[in-house]
Amino acid sequence: MENILNRFLRYVSVDTQSDEESPSQPSTAKQWDLLKMLCDELKALGVETTLDEYGYVMASIPSNIDKEVPAIGFIAHVDTAPDASGKDVRPQIIEHYDGGEIPLQGVEGLALKPSEFPEMLHYVGQTLITTDGTTLLGADDKAGVTEIMNAVQYIVEHPGFKHGPVKIGFTPDEEIGRGVVKFDVDRFGAEFAYTMDGGEIGELEFENFNAASAKVHIQGRNVHPGSAKGKMRNAILIGQELNSLLPVGQRPEYTAGYEGFFHLISFKGTVEEADFSYIIRDHDRAKFEDKKALIEQIVQFINVKYGEGTASVEVKDQYYNMREQVEPHYHIIEKAIRAIEMEGISPKVQPIRGGTDGANLSFKGLPCPNIFAGGLNFHGKMEFVPLESIQAASKVILNIITLFAE
């Protein structure tokens, strides 16, 4: 437990926040720090490893059994979300958690409270790793990175452990939807793979949202307010009107399960011009297309009302529901379920209300469901992860490898 804890703490100490506005890959230079570290650690373990110009670490462990079995891959991303700072992360380690509030020492009065996050009570008696309240933690997805690296170390140090070909991949920029844009599936060499990028212990997912971004620009007309009557067009207010035409019940705070949403993620503007950024999500492909069409129709309505050119929107697809690519290979789901059960854990097969690198990889020809990494409250200062969940996920990796070898 001490080794896996030290490894995780070392990885979260590296700032790897990605940047959606950057055109480069990786989107931030600081992601290279962890990518190079992982490449060096794999090589030091004697594993054949490469790091290419796009920031993809790929490693290969050859089979040590006589029969032919599929090459199985395990993938995690190194970047942390732009939603909160990942610099100078100061984790708190709460041993033998007693079920009470956990003060986050970096911000006076801030605490993780079971009254607000009742899932904390599932982990009484365990070791919880939290933030100090000033940054996110980075368990998304450095817990996944830790779990894979721990499994690799086990395989290397236990030559009697029987396995087929094992492929390892670490990617940048997953949090901004560009994680595997240039990922070479053929070079990776796996027939099937799993991302270690899910939430709390037991989660297993092979369905995710269809996803798009929508960037709305409002061109207003600024006139001195003393003589503005009949002339001024306030871009901020027009943008607010446009936003009000989207269905309120289809916002994230009112949806769950398979329900999709429109999510306003940023706004900046003046009277003269304003920009609204949305993400659009739905598991059902037809409903997804309807949502994209609706925002286009609303933009047209605004243009009819205020004049052509007042509003414009750029809609870009980001990823699609992996189910149609993974379900024909359902045996890889069955093996993951069995691997989780082998650890005495009840599998929670559920749709992802988000996306992973595995979605895009599945459409690139590499079926790739998602397994729990163990963390909760990702992307913010309330993030935490039980140490025992990280350990369990690493064992699930080894169990999957064993099941394929059998």
pLDDT in tens, 188-246: 999 999 999 999 999 999 999 999 999 999 999 999 999 999 999 999 999 999 999 99
pLDDT value at residue 177: 86
pLDDT value at residue 107: 96
- Topology of 210-319 in CATH? Alpha-Beta Plaits (3.30.70)
Residues 233, 306 contacting (CB under 8 angstroms): yes
How many angstroms separate the CA atoms of 171 and 131, rounded? 24
Work out the mean pLDDT of the chain and round it to a whole number. Answer: 96
DSSP assignment string, 320-341: --THHHHGGGTHHHHHHHHHHH
pLDDT at 1 over 60: no
DSSP at 309: T
Backbone angles phi, psi at 167, to 5 degrees: -115, 140
Its sign, for the CA torsion 150, 152, 153, 159, is positive
Whether 275 sits among the annotated catalytic residues: the reply is no
Whether cis (ω within 30° of 0) applies to the bond prior to 141 is yes
How many angstroms separate the CA atoms of 382 and 133, rounded? 7
Residue type, 41: E
Its sign, for the CA torsion 35, 41, 44, 45, is negative
Residue ranges of E strands in 296-386: 311-319, 348-349, 370-372, 384-386
Residues 168, 73 contacting (CB under 8 angstroms): yes
Q: Are strands 203-205 and 348-349 parallel, antiparallel or unpaired?
A: parallel
Sequence-ordered list of residues with C-beta below 8 angstroms from that of 100, at least 6 positions apart, any chain: 114
Q: What is the mean pLDDT of residues 357-361?
A: 93
pLDDT value at residue 356: 85
Residues recorded for the chain: 406
* Residue 303: closest CA among 248, 247, 241, 251: 241
Beta bridge pairs of residue 50? 58
Residues 64, 159 contacting (CB under 8 angstroms): yes
Whether 191 sits among the annotated catalytic residues: the reply is no
Q: Do domains 2-208+321-405 and 210-319 have the same CATH topology?
A: no
pLDDT greater at residue 341 or residue 178: 341
pLDDT value at residue 223: 96
Side by side, the strands of the sheet bearing 370-372 are 48-51, 57-61, 166-171, 72-77, 192-198, 370-372, 203-205, 348-349
pLDDT value at residue 160: 96
Q: Which tokens in the block code for residue 327?
A: 């379900």
- Tens of pLDDT along 374-405? 999 999 999 999 999 999 999 999 999 999 99
What pLDDT band is residue 354 in, cutting at 50, 70 and 90? confident
Q: Which tokens in the block code for residue 106?
A: 């970096």
- Tens of pLDDT along 46-62? 999 999 999 999 999 99
Residue of 41, 132, 147, 174 marked active site: 174
Backbone angles phi, psi at 284, to 5 degrees: -85, 125
Residue of 15, 79, 191, 197 marked active site: 79
pLDDT at 355 over 90: no
How many angstroms separate the CA atoms of 17 and 379, rounded? 11
pLDDT at 184 over 90: yes
Buried-exposed string 98-114: b where 16+ CB fall within 10 A, e elsewhere:
eeeebbbeeeeebebee
**Residue 131 exposure: Cα atoms within 13 Å on the Cβ side:** 28
pLDDT greater at residue 354 or residue 281: 281
- Tens of pLDDT along 113-127? 999 999 999 999 999
How many angstroms separate the CA atoms of 388 and 262, rounded? 36
The CATH homologous superfamily for domain 2-208+321-405 is Zn peptidases (3.40.630.10)
- Cβ atoms within 10 Å of 354's Cβ, excluding its own: 19
What are the domain boundaries of the chain? 2-208+321-405, 210-319
Residues 59, 119 contacting (CB under 8 angstroms): no
Q: Is 233 helix (H, G, I), strand (E, B) or coil?
A: strand
Residues 149, 41 contacting (CB under 8 angstroms): yes
Q: Which tokens in the block code for residue 56?
A: 């993809």
What pLDDT band is residue 2 in, cutting at 50, 70 and 90? low
